[in-house]
Amino acid sequence: MTALDTLADKISSRTARIGVVGLGYVGLPLILRLSEAGFPTAGFDINEDHVAGLAAGQSPFNHIADAAVADLAQADTLLTSDFARAAEVEALILCLPTPLDRYRQPDLSYVVKSMEALAPYLHPGMLISLESTTWPGTTTEVMRPIIEAQNLEIGTDVALVFSPEREDPGNEVYTIRQIPKVLGGETPRCRDLGEQLYSAIVDQVVPVSSTRAAELTKLLENIQRSVNIGLMNEMKQIANAMDIDIFEVVNAAATKPFGFTRYTPGPGLGGHCIPIDPFYLTWKAREYGLNTRFIELSGEVNGRMPRYVVDGLVARLSEISGKAIRGAKVLVVGLAYKKNINDQRESPSLEILEILKEMGADVAYHDPLIPEIPPTRKHATLQGMASVAPGEAHWDAAVVVTDHDAVDYEALLGQSGLVIDTRNVYGGTAHPETGRRIFAY
């Protein structure tokens, strides 16, 4: 019996200890699901405070209950920042950030440094899965050499797969179990073992021919969204110039039962996926002498939206009240990148806040889920800024960037001279104040 045969038996009996590296928005739900499915687990994270909080049963995310984390901490689970404990597991699933650097080049440092730290503890009879979104070829060109440098043969000693995460924080309809799992292996044996493991925790595994195909699948999913959102954002600018309610148009178009997929405009893209992932393919395509014009154009359109929102605010503030933006009291409503979660990664709110500060506005933000702005890679000047209650002042203007359900929007309108509504929370032309004090941007 080979080492991988032994691994297969342990997965089948659910005695294989599964390690998850990176316990953030992707890794924490995954380890919870693995534990729920009956596997002994191990969670690795370099942030010792984060690990300690999880061990104490405290969830860092509002869409994951403390009780669920407490159950994990009390189960057969190891939570640690010591990567040497990887020697005790039969599988490692990497759920690590893959950001862009300042030049929009892929930054795989989290993946590479973690793999280098884990490498001395890799052993025969392991499965290693990368879930982080990345460019086609990463598993083969980056992951595989690190493993093989430990004198481990892929497909014989160790199974190596890529299975892109499809986590959607706050989604109450689709859980990890219900979302099909795309999976590619470095060899057929690798793919079979990956399928065996993931089939134990999800209802459907979608095997593809290679890790490169799986890597490109995730990029296609996110690029499609980016391009279509970019189209809607461009349409919004055209509609605004023509004094047409873009949301009314989208709602009408969406009644067509075929050939139209509903996408809505907004203040810009946020989250770790849509603003970043398309540029991974743009970067890799250059290696093949290809230009990704659709991808780059949508990135330009979406990237300009925070400035477009601020320009609209400046124009309407002058038109309605005769005030300049410098010295104006402005409230940005919503810091998170999407409604009803406390995740501010890449949120357009951060850029809007920064632009307004630079223009001299007396700017504040309100987000019931994010009481203080944490450290960010791009917006250091905002760190420590605290959320304020909308009723603390009368605002010359409010900008609705994130449409949390917990905000009283009618009260907000009463506290603001005008509202820039980027999310259509007021219903566009259906609201009597539209065109007087409520403007879509």
Classify residue 179 by burial, with Cβ atoms within 10 Å: 0-12, 13-18, 19+: middle
Among residues 350, 361, 347, the alpha carbon closest in space to that of 383 is found at 350
Q: Could you give phi then psi for residue 200, rounded to 5 degrees? A: -80, -15
| Whether 95 is catalytic | no
How many residues are recorded in the chain? Answer: 441
Contact 343, 336 (CB under 8 A): yes
Instruction: Provide DSSP, 71-128.
Output: HHHHSSEEEES-GGGGGG-SEEEE-----B-TTS-B--HHHHHHHHHHGGG--SSEEE
Report the C-alpha gap between 30 and 200 in whole angstroms: 12
Token representation of residue 233: 């954002």
Report the C-alpha gap between 59 and 53 in whole angstroms: 7
**Set 127, 273, 335, 373: catalytic member:** 273
Among residues 378, 373, 317, 369, the alpha carbon closest in space to that of 351 is found at 378
CA 91 to chain centre: 24
Residue 382's identity, in one-letter code, is L
Judged by DSSP in three states, 142 sits in: helix
Instruction: Provide DSSP, 332-380.
Output: EE--SSSTTS---TT-HHHHHHHHHHHTT-EEEEE-TT-SB----SS-G
Stated as kind and residue range, the H or E segment containing 300 is: helix 293-321
Taking CA atoms, 46 is separated from 24, 125, 380, in Å, by 11, 25, 22
Active-site residue numbers? 273
